Chain A
Amino acid sequence: SAVISQKPSRDICQRGTSLTIQCQVDSQVTMMFWYRQQPGQSLTLIATANQGSEATYESGFVIDKFPISRPNLTFSTLTVSNMSPEDSSIYLCSVRQGSNEQYFGPGTRLTVT
């Protein structure tokens, strides 16, 4: 399976600021996704990061709040904009290679104060 790294691993941010999370994969992958996991909850898909084009967002998530970039097949960023305490969560990058099986990065633990 692909090796996925995320930066930062955790951060504490003030409300109103923005944080960009990076996801790096050690091999080219066809699909990359961004998920959120709030405390005690399961995973919720934010968007599919499309290489060279705009991301595809799920219901309840918008580009202005969660801009995503994917400049190539091994890298993507997710920005959490104008943060509020409700954005405190774990943000996970995920990739799929060919088959249906999907793998997750170690996550970024965000706390907004």
Chain B
Amino acid sequence: QVQLVQSGAEVKKPGASVKVSCKASGYTFTSYGISWVRQAPGQGLEWMGWISAYNGNTNYAQKLQGRVTMTTDTSTSTAYMELRSLRSDDTAVYYCARDFTMVQEWDYWGQGTLVTVSS
């Protein structure tokens, strides 16, 4: 069965970086894209970006351009999202999700990773 398993919770100081992993199983990793979506406490969903697991092409949300990098390791079927220069308003649960239509529609989601940014 398809599963996306994310790395554990993180606590970071303002200005630091965080790298969240998302290990896929149960399907051919390179046949789909992976998107990252975050949710601040008590807030709605926010799309962060997308990466093709086939060729590594990326698209990022304009507000995060320059601070976010998404990568994949096809040898381990793992996607990564790195966010730099963390601020308090980056505190959120970060989700990876499989893009099954390749136009930003997601049929499987990871369990979420809480990233807390606090001094």
Verify that A and B bind, or say they do not: no
